[in-house]
Chains A and B, each alone.
Chain A
């Protein structure tokens, strides 16, 4: 009994501390999300009545509630290659888009911010890769039959978007793909409002400074039953003094993404560590629309290389001739013996793209509690129980001594 109350007393302040830390941190990093669709676009360009639904540009503002803070702007668009542009700015910065120039053949500098952002970077999906994996190695190699389908040749629709006070901002884009399979590619962007986990596997951490990029390949037609798909991505960094880095590291923690111990960070450095940006993902994809451990397959990743040319899209429209660092990277979906893409005709994958440094997984409170109680309780029992037994033994000895004394006296 004594022991139980002791360990309980020990836990309470600990719990309280943990809760209050959570509360304080949670409150500080909340942003208000507001979104506008094709801001300032003249009717003759963007009118949906003309049937042109492929001009999709969403400007998202993640506003810092404090007056001295900075804001984050995202631009999501499927014009040209689908891309995210992220800008870290002072308060009340405005985005300006010269729409006529933007859709012309030379869109350089048609998107600007006023005043100029401190830091910008971008992530762009450039090609859908299909390769025939004859030997079921799941790895893309030069001997395989490879097809590269440029995303900027596809026509995208913005199917839905959500922005309310309570939720993060979210936009879905979709494009038809495949001639006779009703196939489609779905691309979603989310803007984080506060630090939390995305509510589906692999439960990546999203912050008020980051956004999520989701890709789903649905019913695509394939050139072979051994086809696998992949993605060519590009990253752009406005800060050119320090080369960007790709890092894949193992962690002990798979609490949020069962059976996956690897995390991948692409670090696009800024002037100092916290002023850069990053892309983070787990090397897994899901082959069923309902994401579960049973449909979790590996994502293969390949060399992170410096590139020189960027396919057109919002990133070329923003950066124009500006001096930037461009990097490219491929990933492919699937692992050995998983039955290839045709097994389920579905693959989805998620990554985050945000400002700052990549969030680091920490042990959850539940784990820390179990460990502290689990290790603490036996020790406490040993100490108190040991003292108890010792005292009892001493008392027995003492009383025996007393009775001997009595005997001598009598």
Chain B
């Protein structure tokens, strides 16, 4: 039963592989954060140089995952491409660990860059796999579960890397201890690579058995296709970037805000600040199931944007306990994430999905990188109230895009806001 690709049980087994596919990359992504103090002392670098470990990952990915997605659609193909990107992640982490072992900080930076080439594109591959296996089925839940796994990956990392370092410190010291600790991250990357290979095998097998090998559909994918993308997909990109920049850059500036604005002590402030991450780990799969059962993705997206706007306005204009606002934001973020990403699959043909997800991720990375800098400047010169109002403005753009998407979709007789019932009926009709 589990061997039949049409069966739900088989799908769920494949889903486990999908979740662990990028577990390794999320685990090692936050290695520097978990070991910040150790890296700074063992490698004798200052905070600015330490930041390089993140910026060398994020800035190239403003462009890289766009090409990554395109390569998945064309030369590499989804299966082989995903394996290649998982390899990049592993090799990047190996270089990173060797750099620490040899006491060469520049080599560690090279490792992070190589890791970056694979990391985001691997996530694009993961999204594309999810659509090809779950479209018309539990797609929203799958996106929710993947989001949840990414959170679990970085949380596990934050919590175990420090203790591992301390344990190894009994036998090793300085950069050698750091290097040895980082090798541990490689284990998870190997696990992810293993998942990529298995996924490729099962995907090929399923296509063979079901006789729908999409790689030979003969459709040419060109980068120029981008200009023919429908208005709907561009509106989704706008929602994506305008929404995400109001969550993550805010959290990275949140500690001081909660201390000064609400008079919380540092421990309480950091607890409030981590609510969004914590909630998204638990709630995303649940909301995913909800969206699967009800459908009407656009309403959920609009609700998510409005609730986040409300939460920012609460923190800007009231002294209400910030837990309320941050819980709202955490729920809204989880809801939006699992309702927004699957919509791409309804307006983009499957052979362009990699490109579309690549662009979406690239634009999001660009937005996050730029807004992180802008937000820091706003706080320095205009304060947190203005920052919150700025985020309100971004959310308003997201809301306008979401409302426009609803109107455009309604006017063009689109399918984005179908209820689950209608979607199932259509799917059945198609199968007949």
Please report A residues at the B interface, Cβ cutoff 8 Å.
250, 252-261, 292-293, 366-367, 370-371, 373-375, 377-378, 381-382, 385-386, 388-389, 392
Give the shortest distance, in Å, between A4 (CB) and chain B (any CB): 11
Separation of A319 and B237 alpha carbons in the complex (Å) = 71
Which residues of B lie under 8 Å from residue A260 when comparing CB positions?
260, 383
Which residues of A lie under 8 Å from residue B385 when comparing CB positions?
252-255, 367
Residues from 377 to 432 in B contacting A, C-beta threshold 8 Å: 379-386, 389-390, 392-393, 395-396, 399-400, 403-404, 407, 410-411
Q: Is the interface of B mostly helix, strand, loop or mixed?
A: helix
A259 touches B400 (CB 8 A): no
* B316 at interface by CB-CB < 8 Å: yes
* B318 at interface by CB-CB < 8 Å: yes
> Nearest 7 A-B pairs (CB), nearest first?
A254-B383, A374-B396, A258-B383, A385-B407, A378-B399, A374-B393, A255-B383
B407 touches A388 (CB 8 A): yes
Separation of A259 and B390 alpha carbons in the complex (Å) = 16
B382 touches A258 (CB 8 A): yes
Separation of A74 and B400 alpha carbons in the complex (Å) = 55
Most B CB contacts (10 A, CB to CB) among A257, A371, A374, A386 go to: A374
* B261 at interface by CB-CB < 8 Å: yes
Q: Interface residue count for B (Cβ, 8 Å)?
A: 30
A258 touches B393 (CB 8 A): no
A259 touches B407 (CB 8 A): no
Q: Is the interface of A mostly helix, strand, loop or mixed?
A: helix
Given A252-B316, A370-B392, A382-B403, A392–B411 Cβ distance below 8 Å? yes
14 A-B pairs within 8 Å (CB atoms) are namely A253-B385, A254-B384, A254-B385, A255-B386, A258-B381, A258-B383, A259-B257, A260-B383, A373-B396, A377-B400, A381-B400, A381-B407, A385-B403, A388-B411
Separation of A245 and B319 alpha carbons in the complex (Å) = 24
Residue of B nearest to A293 (CB): B380
Give the shortest distance, in Å, between A293 (CB) and chain B (any CB): 5
Which residues of A lie under 8 Å from residue B396 when comparing CB positions?
373-375, 377-378
Give the shortest distance, in Å, between A202 (CB) and chain B (any CB): 10
A378 touches B380 (CB 8 A): no
Separation of A378 and B404 alpha carbons in the complex (Å) = 9
User: Assuming A255-B385, A381-B407, what are 16 further A-B pairs, CB within 8 angstroms?
Assistant: A250-B263, A250-B319, A252-B318, A255-B383, A258-B383, A259-B256, A259-B257, A259-B384, A261-B260, A370-B390, A370-B392, A371-B389, A371-B392, A374-B392, A382-B403, A389-B410
Which residues of B lie under 8 Å from residue A257 when comparing CB positions?
383
Which residues of A lie under 8 Å from residue B317 when comparing CB positions?
252
B386 touches A367 (CB 8 A): yes
Give the shortest distance, in Å, between B238 (CB) and chain A (any CB): 13
Most B CB contacts (10 A, CB to CB) among A252, A260, A375, A386 go to: A252
A261 touches B386 (CB 8 A): no
Which residues of B lie under 8 Å from residue A388 when comparing CB positions?
407, 411
Which residues of B lie under 8 Å from residue A254 when comparing CB positions?
260-261, 383-385
